[in-house]
Structure 1
Amino acid sequence: MDLIRRYFVAFNAGDIDGMIACLDPQVAHHVNEGAVRTGTDAFREFCAHMSRCYRETLTDMVVFEAEGGTRAAAEYVVNGTYLATDDGLPEAAGQTYRLPAGSFFTVADGRITRVVTYYNLADWMRQVAG
């Protein structure tokens, strides 16, 4: 699905505006281990925080489409560097990590209305703890 691929190309480029261009203004953003954020302003704030704490590139991407283009999923590997200590997490010291992850999407009127992301937080914690 081209929309989902554009979203991830923007992600890998660090292009928050490009990601937001793929989203419905009232997008529901379900993050791993966190509360649902609603709207592109909340999404932008989340992305700014993530960019400050992490540098990530997604590889080995496989995108799946279902239900006539109204649902999609992606499986990928997160290749990252922990840049700055995030609240409640281990101290950052430039640790690198590699995690399998996945996202699920709902699409309507050519925009993403829901993003759900999952990864194994315990695996990430083990990798950055050294």
Structure 2
Amino acid sequence: MTALDIVKEYYTSFNQKNWNGMLALLHPEVRHEPNQGEVRIGVEKFTEFMKTMDTSYEESLTDLVFLTEPSDSRVAVEFVVNGVYKKGEEGLPEAHNQSYVLPAAAFLDIKDGKITRVTTYYNLPLWIKLVSA
């Protein structure tokens, strides 16, 4: 399976809410670099993050564009997040099922058939504006 195949399966699992499918593609010591906040190391911490996300947000990704490089070890993905903000988080606006559409991107490293790094970027001030309107 190529790096591109692995990353496509990861995002297909995301859109299907198949959290176990996503987690199965991660290296046990995966490095998760979120848009803001502390870096998380390990599947356990990533699992905790996913549980929080599932509680607070209902999201699907559209318009995915995958970019690869010749070594078959890195994949970049550009996408649009279509979401509903279900439950507020500390330091963020109050949630009352606001809808949002937000461009985002992620960068993933793959080694020995597992995702070893997930770095995600999006415009947090724009997201806050969208859910505060």
Shorter-chain TM-score bucket reads over 0.9
Tell me the TM-score normalized by structure 1. 0.98
Q: Report how many residues are paired.
A: 130
- Partner AA of 1:28 in structure 2: R
Separation of aligned partners in 2, 1:63 and 1:10? 15
Match for residue 77 of structure 2?
A: 74
SS at match of 2:30: strand
In the alignment, which of 25, 40, 44 is matched to residue 41 of structure 1? 44
Match for residue 10 of structure 2?
A: 7
Between the two proteins, what is the percent identity of the paired residues?
Answer: 45
Determine if the alignment matches structure 1 residue 24 to structure 2 residue 27.
yes
Separation of aligned partners in 1, 2:63 and 2:126? 18
Match for residue 62 of structure 2?
A: 59
- Partner AA of 2:127 in structure 1: W
Match for residue 120 of structure 2?
A: 117
Shift of 1:87: 1.1
Separation of aligned partners in 2, 1:113 and 1:89? 29
Match for residue 91 of structure 2?
A: 88
Over the aligned positions, Cα root-mean-square deviation in angstroms equals: 0.7
- Partner AA of 2:49 in structure 1: F
Separation of aligned partners in 1, 2:25 and 2:98? 31
Tell me the TM-score normalized by structure 2. 0.96
Q: Deviations over 1:70-116 (max 9, x none)?
A: 11100000000000011110000100000000000111001110000
- Partner AA of 2:66 in structure 1: V
Match for residue 106 of structure 1?
A: 109
Runs ≥4 residues deviating over 2 A:
none
Unmatched 5+ stretches in structure 1: none
Unmatched 5+ stretches in structure 2: none
Shift of 1:68: 1.7
Shift of 1:67: 3.6
SS at match of 1:114: strand
Shift of 1:34: 1.2
